[in-house]
Amino acid sequence: MPLYRRAGVYFGTLCALDTEPAHLSEADFAVFELMAQLITFELEAEDERIGREAEIGALKDIISIAAHDLRQPLTAMQLRAQLAFRQAKRENISPELTTKFEGVVNDINRTIQLTDKLLYVGTIKAGTFQLDLDELNLVALIEQVIDDARTNSPGYTFQLEVLDLADTFRLIGDTIRLGQAVRNLVDNAVKYSPDIDGPIEVKLFRQLNAAGELEALIQIRDHGMGVDAKDLPRLFEHQYRTEQALASGIKGTGFGLFISQKIIEAHIGKLWAELPNGPGLIINFTLPML
């Protein structure tokens, strides 16, 4: 039975040998023909897999090199800009110049965060995403994220409510990765909710899941533009942005929520969004606890 690629190119023959004379029916020939098609399909699927792996490897290398090469000069610029900003405030240089220095610092911080996101996406897509696991206090981690958010977004109010004893929120996780996941979610709430609309609310609960296991539930709520109900299932897709976000002119890459989902899922957690009673959006995620 001849073997053909899907493009019609002949590349071999399927042979069957027997010691007895063959008396093949039409059904027998049909079976051999299906076997030949299956062999062709499997060989082409393997070729495609090898090709995809090569493309992913090349993409990972490009992203890693770009992120690394960008981060070094950006870190140096960040340090110089911070020093200039602090000196301008200390020496009471004109408010206009101080504001410009502060703007430069914020722009560099956002650019560094973008290079980090690109690096995360590269490792996720390449399948080389790994966790450095250790015992951590989830409350302390979230408090640090909120402190950073207060510094980076001084016009906003952030409210943290822990509905249990802080020392009970202990789990096994990657502090850096989980910090990035929470930071992305808080930054997203800030980005799509003007400060005059109300505070960014973060709540921590303890609960039992369906299997009776203890887990932490974290809710991040803003009072901004929100989303349509039809967008909820797609919010965490790679580079997905809602019509409201595109129409608003607010810049974004669509990486942040995607990265947060992959990090939380890697910790055996769940992430989802829901609409509150009123404006804004609620992002929920769970993590297994000790």
Instruction: Give the model confidence (pLDDT) of 231-276 as tens digits.
Output: 998 999 887 888 888 888 787 777 788 889 999 999 999 999 999 9
Confidence of residue 167 (pLDDT cuts 50, 70, 90): low
Q: What is the mean pLDDT of residues 60-74?
A: 66
In order of 3, 24, 43, 46, the CA distances from 13 in angstroms are: 5, 17, 14, 19
Q: Worst-scoring range by mean pLDDT, 193-197, 198-202, 224-228? A: 193-197
Instruction: Sort 22 into a burial class: Cβ within 10 Å, 0-12 / 13-18 / 19+.
Output: exposed
pLDDT computed for residue 230 by the predictor: 92
Separation of alpha carbons 289 and 173, rounded Å: 10
What is the reported pLDDT for 159? Answer: 94
| Mean pLDDT (the chain, rounded) | 83
Percentage of the chain surpassing pLDDT 90? 28
User: Is the per-residue pLDDT at 226 higher than 70?
Assistant: yes
263 or 163, higher pLDDT: 263
Rounded-to-integer distance, Cα 159 and Cα 202, Å: 6
In this predicted structure, the answer to whether residue 105 has a pLDDT above a threshold of 90 is no
Residues 156 and 188: beta-carbon distance below 8 Å = no
Taking residues 101-130, report their average pLDDT. Answer: 72
Q: Between these two residues, 58 and 2, which has the higher pLDDT value?
A: 2
Identify the three-state secondary structure at position 10. strand
User: In degrees rounded to 5, what are phi and psi of residue 6?
Assistant: -65, -25
Segment 37-60 shows an average pLDDT of 79
Which residues are paired to 161 by β-bridges?
203
Contact (Cβ atoms closer than 8 angstroms) between residue 122 and residue 67: yes
Q: Name the 3-class secondary structure at 200.
A: strand
pLDDT over 70 (residue 127): no
* CA end-to-end span of the chain: 60
* DSSP helix/strand/coil, 240: coil
Q: What integer is the mean pLDDT of 188-198? A: 87
Tokens of 30: 């049909």
CA-CA distances (angstroms) from residue 221 to 135, 174, 201, 279?
27, 24, 5, 10
Cα–Cα dist 25/152, whole Å: 77
Residue 227 pLDDT > 70: yes
Band of the pLDDT at 136, cuts 50, 70, 90?
very high
Find the mean pLDDT for residues 74-90. Answer: 79
The residue type found at 285 is F
- For the purposes of burial, counting CB atoms within 10 Å of the CB of 130, is it exposed (0-12), middle (13-18) or buried (19 or more)? exposed
User: Sign of the CA dihedral 278, 193, 285, 227?
Assistant: positive
Quote the percentage of the chain above a pLDDT of 70.
Answer: 89
CA distance 238 to 258: 5
In this prediction, residue 49 carries a pLDDT of: 81
Residue 18 or residue 121, greater confidence: 18
| Cα–Cα distance measured from residue 137 to residue 260, given in angstroms and rounded to the nearest whole number | 18
Is pLDDT of 69 > 70?
A: no
Taking CA atoms, 146 is separated from 6, 140, 232, 284, in Å, by 56, 10, 25, 16
